[in-house]
Structure 1
């Protein structure tokens, strides 16, 4: 069985015909936020409805990393290697320090509580960028139903700790990714719950002062929608989709797909050469080795 769908011939050079798609962990409710710790040789990910984070170690398996996790969603690492997490339960972005203590990076804006931070990335200057849709407060499944106090925005926390809004014209911003040279910012809009809002990926030009311009639609995923996404070292965007993972060229063209039997929520690169794509999908976590590096 082939796990790959070739759309552009170049995609044949990205994948390995003898590298299987492997289910490495299963039995969860809705997995998200994969992040690779190369120095610890492990993958950390969230199971949002079960209020837990897990750690998967090759040859060993899966164990609970944090419980409760404040219904954590997206995760990343900062420039010092510390874990940065989006928490629906606390409606905040947090950092886990090297001693295990937790620091709140952002939990409000202009005197109002954040909604439910979803995805997070860290730029080369140490600034933290995160999306804040309403999914974690719309119902009790992935957090706690609560009043929405702020629009669904994208925020930037600069190294001094100051928080600013950088994007305010989204229905529900979700996945975030920078191009390798940080000249582009990709943002997925997954739309508000129970509506038919447009769902697509938009691309913004990043100025020298981190000011964003542009914002045209970069690509519309079908089937499903773009949720989490990551960029490889050549600038190709790997996005979650309803039928797996879609690989998009820097100009927005669909190059090919990794077909996954469950709805994909997010991805990250890891492994010894950052050549393994880890995929969170509904109730399971998958991995596949690629001829690409993240």
Structure 2
């Protein structure tokens, strides 16, 4: 019996990258149903279906939404191969100066000497650290080592940032994500890395009711959500605390700096820029 793969490839279009996963979810496709592989050159999203007809129906909708912006192929695989084949291309890699991400199914001897490992299993590269936005956020968390004890992760995904925060001194950690499947993955990853006491909530941050403020808050979201939720996000940072925002394409960096610059209660401390993405570190004034 065969399984069919829809492979969607995007090359060097930051705006399309940011919108593609959101569009798939709006089509009723859960993040647990697709595999993301992201590199500096291209983003590939794979979905698997039992019949070619199912694939063709999805391709029609995707093509309509992203006409001319993505390359779509339908591939056929033996059923025994597709569920694990994505793992073969994922190797250990450096996340920060001191942390290495290692696939959970690989042997621990693959950890470079002197590096602290994070063992991770997820089908979403946006949560593994392969994507610039997650990597920059992790590096800024490490940059704050010794300056925070409480941490709030908005849009936690795989839970990677919670683990990074724990390795850098956080003792109280909370995390939210709108997707229940992501919360399940995050709980498993946190447990696999020996991090305990993390409070997870499967909820939309827009309606999340929490009066606690934190030393460090991270929000790795798309630009639209950062802008519409900026006041809500900042409300979770204690006076004197720090805020990291990421998920910002270079094309939107000027807009984000301008809009967050209007907020008198915070000041910009650091900007990290890559080839296509950026992250910002703010301090909330006393």
TM-score of the superposed pair, with normalisation by structure 1: 0.29
Pick the structure with more strand per residue.
Answer: 1
Q: Which has the higher contact order (CA 8 A, sep 6+)?
A: 1
What TM-score, normalized by structure 2, do the two folds share?
A: 0.30
Going by fraction, where is helix more abundant, 1 or 2? Answer: 2
Higher-Rg member (1/2) = 2
